[in-house]
């Protein structure tokens, strides 16, 4: 069962949580109980595939609330490798970018799509509405593309998304409709919120959100933390895990894994100049503010929605949060230097988001003697060719699944940032 972070509505089952996105009291859904996992799950086994691990972890998370949908969703979400690559003897990189859109969001989006499809009780229409600043659009578009009876509408700020990112969700066509909004990402999010507040509209078109407020994106992300730690040497004493963060869904999943018994000593919340969370950890003051643009644009979030989940997980107790979590923020200059330095020293090319993660890990390891560190690589460097070229003077090879989109025509529509315009669009067939 799933409960709201605000605790003012009754618990719901998985499918209700997936379909409604936000809880009726405005809170976010969280698993009602987090049991400790069997220790055996936390150890590597050469006989267990990633999909097997995923099925067992998700069964532990969902327990009896186990729709027949689960196996299908697991197969859909974990059909690409997630390797742990050593950079030095103390630093490992968990590569989460081997899915279709080359970013970690593929895991959550594909699980959500698989679960929603398998759980559909009838043939009523379903509309998935999502705002994207870049990476969510590609992951959601690829996850839902071609699925029967589901219409996907992706709102993006026109002119503010990189060409590679844009191609990933505007060239598929079919049941995936991309709409450039003449406004900012905040305008897009406002429109999505407005649509969800219209209960009549929601019922009429079966509206669901695929943004990271949806707990269906969160749950499968717990899996790869367990998968990563299981691959470290079994005598590893202290483990530090760094997560490049924007909306903090990824980090929330890591903290859920720790609550379920994953032996991670500390997490690092690594951010760019959008440092609301590091500042909160330092000063105790929570000051959401408009985002500023950086080279790691998927983390340009000024009011991270999943912080509400983290606070709920720790009953709002900052002392306890600080025990598990360090906050560290970095400038674009530091990010660029890290990409250059890592390429030169280790022959490994990071994307700008993953570079922020590595900076966070290096800073944390410098302060605690014996620890071994894992940092999450959240996107493939080929997704950000301009930034990478500026950092190291060259680009990296573009994987085939990205290259094949080049030259395909964009099918994006355009829209003014008005709720009436969005209603009209959603009601049109
Ligand atoms: C979305 C995204 C992030 C931030 O993840 P959150 O779960 O929102 O904190 C980091 N890196 C990349 C490449 C992303 O696409």
Is the pLDDT confidence value at 369 over 80? no
DSSP at 375: E
How many beta carbons lie within 10 A of that of residue 428, not counting itself?
Answer: 6
DSSP string, 377-417: E-B-GGG-HHHHHHHHSS--PPPHHHHTTTTPPP--EEE-S
Q: With contact defined as beta carbons under 8 Å apart, do 334 and 358 qualify?
A: no
Contact 274 CB / ligand 1 (< 6 Å): no
Taking the centre of ligand 1 as the mean of its atom positions, its distance from the CA of residue 411, in whole angstroms, is 25
CA 305 – CA 312 distance, rounded (Å) = 12
Contact 271 CB / ligand 1 (< 6 Å): no
Is the pLDDT confidence value at 117 over 90? no
- The percent of residues above 70 in pLDDT, for the chain, comes to 97
Contact 245 CB / ligand 1 (< 6 Å): yes
Which residues are CB-contacts of 351 (< 8 A; sequence separation ≥ 6)? Answer: 97, 377, 378, 379, 380, 381, 383, 384, 387, 388
Encode pLDDT of 163-218 as tens digits: 888 999 999 999 999 999 999 888 898 899 899 889 899 888 989 889 888 999 99
pLDDT at 313: 97
Which residues are CB-contacts of 428 (< 8 A; sequence separation ≥ 6)? Answer: none
Is the pLDDT confidence value at 138 over 80? yes
Q: What is the mean pLDDT of residues 374-380?
A: 98
**At 15, is the secondary structure helix, strand, or coil?**
helix
- Chain centroid to CA 395: how far? 25
Encode pLDDT of 151-175 as tens digits: 999 999 998 888 888 999 999 999 9
Please provide the distance, in angstroms rounded to a whole number, between the alpha carbons at the two ends of the chain: 34
Q: Ligand 1 pocket test: which of 218, 299, 306, 376 has the largest number of ligand atoms within 8 Å of its C-beta?
A: 299
DSSP at 418: -
DSSP string, 50-69: HHHHHHHHHHHHHTT---TH
Specify the ligand 1 atom closest to the Cα of 250: 7
CA 255 – CA 305 distance, rounded (Å) = 15
- Sign for the CA dihedral angle at 194, 141, 185, 351 comes to positive
Taking the centre of ligand 1 as the mean of its atom positions, its distance from the CA of residue 251, in whole angstroms, is 10
Taking the centre of ligand 1 as the mean of its atom positions, its distance from the CA of residue 318, in whole angstroms, is 24
Contact 250 CB / ligand 1 (< 6 Å): yes
Encode pLDDT of 98-109 as tens digits: 999 999 999 999
CA 83 – CA 63 distance, rounded (Å) = 28
Taking the centre of ligand 1 as the mean of its atom positions, its distance from the CA of residue 194, in whole angstroms, is 24
The first and second tokens of residue 50, run together, are 């990633």
DSSP string, 11-48: -B-HHHHHHHSB-TTS-BEEES--PPPPGGGGS--TT-
């Amino acid at each position: 069962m799933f409960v709201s972070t605000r605790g003012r509505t009754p618990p719901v089952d998985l499918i209700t949580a997936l379909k409604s996105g936000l809880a009726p009291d405005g809170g976010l859904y969280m698993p009602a109980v987090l049991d400790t996992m069997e220790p055996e799950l936390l150890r590597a086994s050469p006989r267990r595939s990633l999909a097997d691990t995923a099925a067992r972890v998700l069964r532990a998370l969902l327990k009896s609330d186990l729709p027949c949908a689960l196996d299908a969703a697991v197969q859909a979400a974990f059909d690409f490798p997630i390797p742990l690559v050593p950079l030095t003897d103390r630093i490992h990189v968990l590569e989460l970018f081997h899915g279709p859109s080359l970013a970690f969001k593929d895991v959550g989006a594909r699980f959500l799509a698989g679960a929603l499809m398998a759980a559909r009780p009838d043939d009523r229409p379903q509309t998935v509405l999502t705002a994207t600043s870049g990476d969510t659009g590609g992951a959601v578009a690829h996850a839902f593309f071609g699925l029967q009876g589901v219409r996907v509408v992706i709102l993006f700020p026109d002119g503010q998304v990189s060409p590679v990112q844009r191609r990933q969700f505007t060239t598929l066509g079919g049941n995936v409709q991309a709409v450039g909004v003449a406004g900012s990402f905040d305008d897009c999010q406002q429109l999505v919120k407005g649509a969800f507040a219209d209960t009549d509209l929601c019922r009429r078109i079966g509206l669901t959100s695929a943004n990271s407020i949806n707990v269906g994106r969160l749950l499968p992300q717990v899996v790869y933390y367990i998968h990563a730690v299981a691959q470290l040497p079994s005598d590893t004493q202290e483990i530090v895990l760094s997560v490049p963060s924007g909306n903090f869904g990824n980090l929330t999943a890591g903290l859920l894994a720790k609550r379920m018994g994953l032996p991670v000593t500390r997490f690092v919340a690594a951010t760019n100049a959008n440092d609301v969370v590091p500042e909160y950890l330092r000063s105790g003051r929570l000051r959401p503010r408009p985002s500023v643009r950086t080279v790691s644009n998927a983390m340009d979030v000024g009011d991270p929605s999943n912080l509400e989940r983290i606070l709920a997980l720790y009953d709002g107790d900052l002392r306890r949060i600080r025990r598990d979590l360090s906050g560290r923020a970095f400038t674009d200059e530091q990010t660029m230097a890290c990409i250059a330095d890592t390429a030169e020293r280790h022959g490994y090319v990071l994307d700008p988001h993953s570079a922020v993660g590595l900076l966070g890990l290096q800073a944390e390891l410098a302060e605690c003697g014996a620890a071994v560190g894992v940092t999450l690589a959240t996107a493939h460097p080929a997704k950000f060719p301009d930034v990478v070229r500026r950092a190291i003077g060259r680009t990296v090879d573009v994987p085939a699944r990205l290259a094949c989109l080049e030259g395909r025509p964009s099918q994006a529509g355009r829209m003014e940032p008005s709720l009436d315009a969005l209603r009209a669009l959603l009601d049109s067939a």
